[in-house]
Amino acid sequence: MRQQDRQRAQLRREDPHLAPGASEEAAVGRRVFAEGRGPVLTDLDGNQYLDFAAGTLTQSLGHTHPEVVEALTAQAGRLWNVHDAATPNRAQLLDTLARLLPEHLDTYALFSTGAEVVEAALRVVQATAPPGRNRIGALRHGFHGKTMGARMLVHWDIGHQAFAGNSVLGYAPYCYRCPLGLERPTCGVRCASLVRRHIAEKPNTSALVFEPVLGAAGVIVPPPGYWEQISEAARENGVLLVADEVLTGGGRTGTFLASELIGVEPDLVAMSKGLANGFPFAVLAGRHDLLHDPAAATPGAYASTYASNPLGIAAARATLEVIERDRLLEQVARLGELLGDRLGALHERFENLGEVRGLGLLWGLEFVTDRASRTPSPALARAVYAAALDLGLRVALGGHVLRLAPPFTIDEALLDEGVGLLAKAIEQAVAA
């Protein structure tokens, strides 16, 4: 049995003062993590865990990567905040972004969190939209953050009431639970034709905000043909494509942007989680003409207290330079294939795994009561999550889906070890 004493005492101590409303992961896990090194976390009682959630899908290079620690430590002794004034690392960071991103996304504004950068993208859309185009499109099952503008685009239960506002909704490519009751490939990707029709018939829509792979909803990967139809409709109707790559941007799916994999050329891209290896940092990347549009680029439009802060810039510069130098995108693609194979074997073995899907090092496992009814089983997902933690594996939990997103730097042996622990956890949870 793993030691828990010091953790329990610490959690009891914070209970009287800490507001409730923690993530399901923290509430179910009840762990106090004290240290992280590469893919391994250590809790306050000295137990170790393989971290297949990479923080919160943030530590692309693993915990406390030495080069990021060095960059942050050097910067911490030098300068922390001068609003958005230029500091020495900023020019190099912008050059690195320009090398890693598709050529047409050559202009960048810097922020600190996912919701903040999504809001900035919405401001650009609203400022540059032709008169009368006052609605913004989003996809069912998309997640974009919890600030009001971002929340307006999220139409599923994330713990409190939605604020629908002025957004319009399209069907997500959730084939396992097709909202139209159809099956691939005979469906002809009808969900996409309906989004297409929506775009064409609602001339007041200025932009479609989308996750290329819908992350929080359980790693929903679009089938071929989905984005071809939608991006063509957006182009034909002057609707901007705004990719929310807060989760996928920075290489998680094996290309720097997941948009590249699905063949979409977005006009604006929001990125955050993986960019600075867990340090709060975000980038809005966009077409030159959009981000320079005088209506969008009013004085102070891209500034905020922590936007451009030198610590975030130092961490992002170090992280992205390691990703580029060590050719980690290729590694993500290669390890992703392996992980997909291993998880495919779990799918064959466990009846309660309704579907396993993913790209690169981003995978979702959907738990069901049985394959025939496909009834979601959040209780089983929670039990597997808790059992995995007890065995020394940390994954990400959301409803009836577990997500796996190990650091890009993990090796094959640890990848196998993690999947082995997960198999044991499922075995235990199913038998309980």
Ligand X SMILES: Cc1ncc(COP(=O)(O)O)c(C=O)c1O
Name the residue nearer to ligand X (CB basis): 392 or 407.
407
CB count in 10 Å sphere of residue 130: 9
The count of other CB atoms within 10 Å of the CB of residue 104 is 13
Min. distance of Cβ 201 from ligand X in angstroms? 27
Q: Is 151 in the site for ligand X (CB under 6 A)?
A: no
For residue 404, the surrounding DSSP H or E stretch is strand 401-404
Closest CA relative to residue 291, chosen from 432, 120, 130, 161? 120
Compare residues 274 and 376 and give the one whose CB is closer to ligand X.
274
Encoded amino acid at 140, one letter: R
> Based on CB atoms, which residue is closest to ligand X, 115 or 139?
115
Instruction: Output the smallest distance, CB 155 to ligand X, in A.
Output: 14
Q: Does 114 bind ligand X (CB under 6 A)?
A: yes
Nearer to ligand X, 115 or 329 (CB): 115
Q: Give yes or no for residue 211 binding ligand X (CB under 6 A).
A: yes
Torsions phi, psi of 391, nearest 5?
Answer: -85, -10
C-beta of 246 vs 314, nearer to ligand X: 246
Cα distance between residue 311 and residue 1, in whole Å? 40
Pick one of 145, 251, 364, 392: the residue that binds ligand X (CB under 6 A): 145
Smallest distance from ligand X to CB 114, Å: 2
- Say whether residue 144 binds ligand X (CB under 6 A): yes
> How near is the Cβ of 207 to ligand X at its closest, in Å?
15
Residue 334 Cβ, how far from ligand X at the closest point, in Å? 25
306 Cβ partners below 8 Å, 6+ apart?
Answer: 81, 111, 112, 280, 312
Q: In the complex with ligand X, which residue's Cβ is closer, 282 or 380?
A: 282
Task: With contacts defined by CB under 6 A, name the span among 124-132, 141-149, 404-412, 415-423 that binds ligand X.
Answer: 141-149
User: Which of these segments, 78-86, 112-120, 160-168, 287-295, binds ligand X (CB under 6 A)?
Assistant: 112-120
Give the contact letters, 217-246, x = binds to ligand X (CB under 6 A), - = no.
Answer: ---------------------------x-x
131: left (phi over 0), alpha (psi -120 to 50) or beta: beta
Distances (CA, A) of 292 to 103, 288, 302: 16, 6, 11
- Find the shortest distance in angstroms from Cβ 333 to ligand X: 21
Could you list the beta-strand ranges (E) of 211-352: 240-245, 268-271, 282-286
| Under 8 Å between Cβ of 356 and 364 | yes
* Binding footprint of ligand X, residue count (CB under 6 A): 14
Residue 143 near ligand X by CB under 6 A: yes
Centroid of chain to Cα 357: 15
Q: Which of 39, 215, 266, 398 binds ligand X (CB under 6 A)?
A: 215
- CB-based contact 178:187 (threshold 8 Å): yes
Q: Which of 107, 113, 253, 409 binds ligand X (CB under 6 A)?
A: 113
Sheet hosting strand 353-359, strand order edge to edge: 353-359, 362-367, 401-404, 396-398
Q: Which residue's beta carbon is nearest to the bound ligand X?
A: 114
Member of 118, 296, 328, 425 binding ligand X (CB under 6 A): 118
CA-closest candidate to residue 288, choices 430, 147, 98, 7 = 98
Tokens 């992980």 locate to 339
Residue 277 lies near ligand X (rule: CB under 6 A): no
By the rule CB under 6 A, 216 interacts with ligand X: yes
Question: Footprint of ligand X on this chain (CB under 6 A)?
Answer: 113-115, 118, 143-145, 211, 215-216, 244, 246-247, 272
